[in-house]
């Protein structure tokens, strides 16, 4: 059994409009596809977790003509869960079909990142893994980040920080925000990032949540 980790790129014109919305708006971070189920030739039901404010996203979502239905459940940390029923077409459908090879399992989440990349991990027979890569639409650039014999420990691997979260943590370390004793303030981190203190604080909180949740999920040392 093989595993595959890929990063897929598209031009802004070809990218899914809601993914492009996240790319174009600084208030949004990674969007994670948690579950997808096909119930018709073109119809898909999907659940996402979106990191960012609800109202602007929902306004853009309401204008999308490929949706059958959607529902939003807000979280307490300026993120929300999104249920979508949609007809996939064009590259969206071809991309979904590429990773629906017989015997291939896509390991959630699929990350739609604010740098424009789509990242996913798939597991299955060698032939299915190879067919998936070969079936990705030509308009998408595929970067195979890792491929090899599957090790169950990979499912316990960390959820990667987004680029913005990593930049925030790196800036905080550089200015001494995590030093003991602390030698910098959140305002210093924000100045280093050239953003508001609220944005800097939110990026650090999301990064810390991701790292700590993964640490606990890995069990005791």
Query: Each residue of 45-85: pLDDT tens digit?
Result: 999 999 999 999 999 998 887 788 999 999 887 899 999 99
Q: Is the pTM of this model over 0.85?
A: no
| Same domain, residue pair 10 and 93 | yes
Instruction: Tell whether 158 is covered by a domain.
Output: no
Domain of 187 in residue numbering reads as 163-217
| Same domain, residue pair 170 and 106 | no
Q: pLDDT per residue over 74-115, tens digit each?
A: 988 789 999 999 888 888 889 999 998 899 999 889 999 999
Q: Write down the pLDDT at residue 89.
A: 83
Instruction: Tell whether 182 is covered by a domain.
Output: yes
Integer Cα distance of 20 and 12 in angstroms:
7
Q: pLDDT per residue over 184-218, tens digit each?
A: 999 999 999 999 999 999 999 988 888 887 666 55
Domain boundary among 124, 151, 178: 151
| Same domain, residue pair 110 and 37 | yes
| Same domain, residue pair 135 and 194 | no
Give whole-number Cα distances, 128 to 33, 87, 122, 134, in Å. 21, 25, 10, 10
Instruction: Tell whether 133 is covered by a domain.
Output: yes
Q: Write down the pLDDT at residue 157.
A: 42
Per the CB < 8 A criterion, the answer to whether 210 and 159 are in contact is yes
Q: What is the overall mean pLDDT for the chain?
A: 87
Q: How many domains does the chain divide into?
A: 2
| Same domain, residue pair 134 and 65 | yes
């Amino acid at each position: 059994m093989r595993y595959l980790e890929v990063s897929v790129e598209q031009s802004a014109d070809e990218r899914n409009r809601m993914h492009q919305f996240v790319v174009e708006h600084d208030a949004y971070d990674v969007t994670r596809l948690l579950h997808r189920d096909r119930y018709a030739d073109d119809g898909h039901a999907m659940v996402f977790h979106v990191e960012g404010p609800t109202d602007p996203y929902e306004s853009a979502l309401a204008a999308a003509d490929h949706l059958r239905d959607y529902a939003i459940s807000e979280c307490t940390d300026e993120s929300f869960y999104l249920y979508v029923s949609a007809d996939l077409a064009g590259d969206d459908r071809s991309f979904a079909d590429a990773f629906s090879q017989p015997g291939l399992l896509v390991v959630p989440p699929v990350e739609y990142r604010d740098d424009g990349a789509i990242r996913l991990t798939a597991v299955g027979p060698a032939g299915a893994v190879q067919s998936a890569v070969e079936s990705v639409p030509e308009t998408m650039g595929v970067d195979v980040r890792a491929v090899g014999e599957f090790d169950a420990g990979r499912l316990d691997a960390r959820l990667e920080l987004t680029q913005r979260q990593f930049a925030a943590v790196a800036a905080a370390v550089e200015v001494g925000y995590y030093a003991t004793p602390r030698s910098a303030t959140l305002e210093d981190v924000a100045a280093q990032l050239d953003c508001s203190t609220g944005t800097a604080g939110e990026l650090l909180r999301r990064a810390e949540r991701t790292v700590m949740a993964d640490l606990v999920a890995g069990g005791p040392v």
